[in-house]
Amino acid sequence: MIFLEGGTADGREAAERLAAAGEEVIYSSISNYNAPKENRHLHWHIGTMDADQLKDFLTEQKVTVFVDATHPYARQASVNAMAACGALHLRYIRFERPGILSMAPELQKQVRHFPDYDEMVSYLQNFPGNILTTTGSRELAHYQTLDKERLFIRVLPTSSVLKKCEGLGYKPSHIFGMQGPFSQAMNVAMIEDHEIRFVTTKDSGDIGGVADKIRAAKEKGAEVLCVDRPDLDYPEVYADIDRLLGQLAARKDDTQG
């Protein structure tokens, strides 16, 4: 049994392709938003688990391989996964999309990097101008020290997310409930319409539309502020889905042989 902890587009694709190949897969996500295609080999777990709960679940389900395909910034999920796998002596594989800034180094000079949100917000406190935040609803609390009239928030269009934004004091006119990724033209329009001077982002990779975001900001003279990815020491990492699937197929062949 393969346990695939997902929540990303590439994680869903990996789960679908594994199930289509006849592998028994448990796909785990915090919600059923953007669910993978149904397949009799694909099983579901919805919700979060800490390291101990995860360890118990993996034991009960007789999992033999753990694939961590969580978002590149879901640090605690990866930490919990590695702890659980280490305790159970399970093979842990990190499947992570490459960062766009490593794939397109010419975009680097357009981006100002920060190790965390506190430093990025401190920087923003020193300069006037409107801000387009594209770092997600979970990170909104970091922006609370800034004038809310400056912030325009782009988040997923779910009722719980929109409720959270309003609960933090943001006006509906400053909340954009939209499903990405977004084209360069869409980003240009938003930056232009709301006189955006700063765009905050994560380096979620090309699939996250980061390159178009950076190019749009450059076109309109806005500054891109990026919170860097967590630095974790993964024991085994793949960035290409075909290589990941090949490794898993090889492990099955070795077992049968």
Cα–Cα distance, 195 to 220 (Å, whole number): 9
What is the pTM for the complete model shown? Answer: 0.78
The architecture that CATH gives domain 100-227 is: 3-Layer(aba) Sandwich (3.40)
Q: Considering the chain, what percentage of its residues have pLDDT values greater than 90?
A: 68
Domain segments of the chain as ranges? 2-98+231-256, 100-227
| pLDDT (0 to 100) of residue 104 | 67
Q: Which residues lie closer than 8 Å to 230 by C-beta, 6 or more apart? A: 72, 73, 75, 78
> Is 204:71 a contact under the CB 8 Å cutoff?
yes
pLDDT at residue number 102? 65
pLDDT score, position 103: 60
The reply to whether domains 2-98+231-256 and 100-227 share a CATH topology is yes
- Beta-bridged to residue 25, according to DSSP, are 2, 42
Nearest CA-CA partner of 95 in 203, 243, 200, 202? 243
| pLDDT 10s digits, 117-150 | 999 999 999 999 999 999 989 899 999 999 999 9
Q: What is the mean pLDDT of residues 175-183?
A: 90
Q: Mean pLDDT of all residues in the chain? A: 90
Q: Is the pLDDT of residue 15 over 90?
A: yes
Topology annotation, domain 2-98+231-256 = Rossmann fold (3.40.50)
Question: In DSSP terms, which residues pair with 227 in a beta bridge?
Answer: 114, 202
The SS3 assignment for 149 reads coil
Q: How confident is the model at residue 175 (pLDDT cuts 50, 70, 90)?
A: very high
Quick: pLDDT tens for 69-89. 998 888 899 999 999 999 999
DSSP 191-232: HHHTTEEEEEEE---GGGTHHHHHHHHHHHTPEEEEEPPP--
